[in-house]
Structure 1
Amino acid sequence: MSHGQGPAERLFGATKRLIASLLSNGEARLRLAVVELEEERARLVTLLLLAGISLLMVMLGLTVLTLFVVVLFWETHRLLAIAASALVLLGGGLALGAWVVHLAKRPTLLKSTLRHLATDRALMETSRDD
């Protein structure tokens, strides 16, 4: 008798290779997800620091500008200057707030990982149909 592989041994070997391939693919996707999460965390910390410093500088600048406008029109139209400054600041704040909400709704977390998983699923579905 020859020492060839029987059908059960070939099936077992193919199953073993399939599981190893799935684990390898899963590990690659998990590593990609971890890298993306680390990049997103670093980006978020940088954005928060820059936004905080920017916000502080803009608030100080707007305070000085408002005081300048009020002092400039103190003798003639001080109440109108105060009201106009308040309306401009409130309008700008509301517009920027709406823009921030719009930006926050955009999905960016794990974008590449999700795209690669969708590609993997599509490839598996097309190979299953063949």
Structure 2
Amino acid sequence: MMAGPAENVIGAARRLIANLIDTGETRLRLAVVEWEAERERLLTLLLLAGAGLIMLSFAIGMLLLLIVVMYWDENRLQAIAICAGALFVIAAGLILAARRVARRRKLMAATLRHLEHDRDALRPDHE
């Protein structure tokens, strides 16, 4: 038995809705996978950076103490000033490095790219 035009339209609408739901589910799964990977990467980055900063702080502190003690009798103020200047330079370098790392990655970039592709494909002027 042949389907009438109304049944064809209803069937096409059902298939379209099913495809939209499938596409939405796929994009949501991709977003969840990306979010979990990003969360894991950020946690690892924070742990490593924290441990590294603690060790760097101890090392710099010991180096500065050594320099000040070495020059305590003759030029203690100059030694302290040079150590403070070195700390400012190191802090500036670390801030610039942190800014570079923060700009490097965009959260859920693949999901956003796929959603943009889907939106472009659904536009009426796209053929």
TM value normalised by structure 1 = 0.89
Structure 1 residues 70 and 129: CA distance shift in structure 2, 3 A = closer
Moved over 4 A (4+): none
Q: Which residue of 1 aligns with 2:71?
A: 73
| Same amino acid, percent of matched pairs | 46
Q: Which residue of 2 aligns with 1:64?
A: 62
Corresponding letter in the other structure for 1:83:
A
Corresponding letter in the other structure for 2:54:
L
SS class of match (2:74)? coil
Structure 1 residues 78 and 88: CA distance shift in structure 2, 3 A = same
**Is this contact kept in 1: 2:31–2:111, CA < 8 A?**
yes
Structure 1 residues 40 and 129: CA distance shift in structure 2, 3 A = closer
Q: Which residue of 1 aligns with 2:113?
A: 115
Post-superposition Cα deviations, 1:60-100, rounded to whole Å, max 9, x if no partner, equal 00000001111121222111011000111022113322432
**Counterparts of 1:103 and 1:66, CA distance in 2:** 28
Show structure 2 runs of 5+ residues with no match: none
Show structure 1 runs of 5+ residues with no match: none
* Matching of residues 18-29 of structure 1 within 5 Å: 18-29=16-27
Corresponding letter in the other structure for 2:95:
G
TM value normalised by structure 2 = 0.91
| Distance apart, 1:21 and its partner CA | 0.4
**Counterparts of 1:46 and 1:97, CA distance in 2:** 19
Corresponding letter in the other structure for 1:46:
T
